[in-house]
Amino acid sequence: MGFSGSAKRAYHHGDLRNALIAAAAELAAQGGPSSVSIRAAARLVGVTPTAAYRHFTGQEELLGAAKDSALDELAAAMHKELSARPQSDDPVRYALGSLSALGRGYIAFAKAQPGLFRTVFSWEGPVRDLNQIRENDPFGMLLESLDELVAVGYLSVERRPLAEVAAWAVVHGLSMLLDGPLRDMPAEVREEAVVKAMLVLGHGLAGNGLTAEQETLLADEMRMAAR
């Protein structure tokens, strides 16, 4: 994917900061977070690094801006699927469809834009504070979806705390596997893995897959492993 030139056009209109952010996002899309630098972004825009440093103190700040830009694209991909989900008069069906749509958008973005996906969650540069959720934030959309499942009676109030972490771990982990060990698997196997992961998550949220004794056993075993 070549640089579109949009950043340079923005600069000609006097908005160098946004031009540099657009260039940083392009660099991230092509090569991931490690490819983002002041010099590379300045070169794409057509200015000197000195001019770029007037807007960003260094690589970390520019990478943070690139992360925000990539996060917005992830949110857009999730919102696109959320808006396209089938309507239903059944509130549980609709709420489950919303959760599935968010997961589908998340995975689709990871597959289509691996460089941006790695940038969003990179340990390089600033790391996101989940206590500061922006409007239309992917994590915020997940929280709202799980709260909706509680409201329609599918997810119990008792099982709601930290359910977002479990749901996020399933979808994010699957996205990483599809870009790694599962990359060369047949397409139908990869697609079925996505379906199976969502089914397991759905059963887990409802809490109908384990007896009370089995749930206690697993919880105790995991707590022992964490010590």
Domain of residue 208, CATH code: 1.10.357.10
pLDDT tens readout for residues 17-66 = 999 999 999 999 999 999 999 999 999 999 999 999 999 988 899 999 99
147 in a domain, yes or no?
A: yes
Higher pLDDT, 99 or 215: 99
57 in a domain, yes or no?
A: no
What is the number of domains present in the chain? 1
The tally of CA atoms less than 13 A away on the side-chain side of residue 208 is 7
Q: Residue 41 and residue 25: Cα distance in Å, rounded?
A: 9
42 in a domain, yes or no?
A: no
Amino acid at 109: F
28 in a domain, yes or no?
A: no
pTM above 0.75, yes or no: yes
Residue 13's pLDDT is what?
A: 45
Residue 14's pLDDT is what?
A: 64
32 in a domain, yes or no?
A: no
113 in a domain, yes or no?
A: yes
37 in a domain, yes or no?
A: no
10 in a domain, yes or no?
A: no
Amino acid at 174: L
- Containing structural domain, residue 79: 70-225
Which of 118, 113, 21 is closest to 64 using CA atoms? 21
pLDDT tens readout for residues 175-226 = 999 989 999 999 999 999 999 999 999 989 998 877 888 888 888 887 875 5
